[in-house]
Amino acid sequence: MSAILQHRNTVVHGSTVEEQALIVLEKLRVLVTRFYDTFTQNPSLPWYHHLFTSQSLERCLQYPFDHIKCWLQLVEEAVQV
């Protein structure tokens, strides 16, 4: 593998497990923020209102990885309904 490609992969994916986990967590936080923005722009959406009104966006972004994944799964299921 070329040095340039290796450097790019390190920047994009992280060089350690911890960096990789932080990158994944940041991507999840972006999704959470998008869902909150969508709900804020149209609070009459028939989604589970309590997912957005029981906790602030700032609080939700502080959740650990597993909690964010569960929250996102609930929201995605609500959107499909």
pLDDT tens digits, one per residue of 21-68: 888 999 999 999 999 998 888 877 666 788 888 889 999 999 999 999
Question: Is the distance from CB of 57 to CB of 32 less than 8 angstroms?
Answer: yes
- Whether 6 is in a domain gets the answer no
Sorting pLDDT into bands at 50, 70 and 90, what band is 1?
low
Residue 72 covered by a domain: yes
What pLDDT is stored for residue 46 in this prediction? 65
Residue 46 lies in a domain: yes
7 falls within a domain: no
Residue 9 falls inside a structural domain: no
- Structural domain total, the chain: 1
Q: Is 14 left (phi over 0), alpha (psi -120 to 50) or beta?
A: left
Instruction: Give pLDDT tens digits for 5-22.
Output: 776 767 666 778 888 888
Domain limits for position 56: 16-80
CA dist 21 and 67 (Å) reads 14
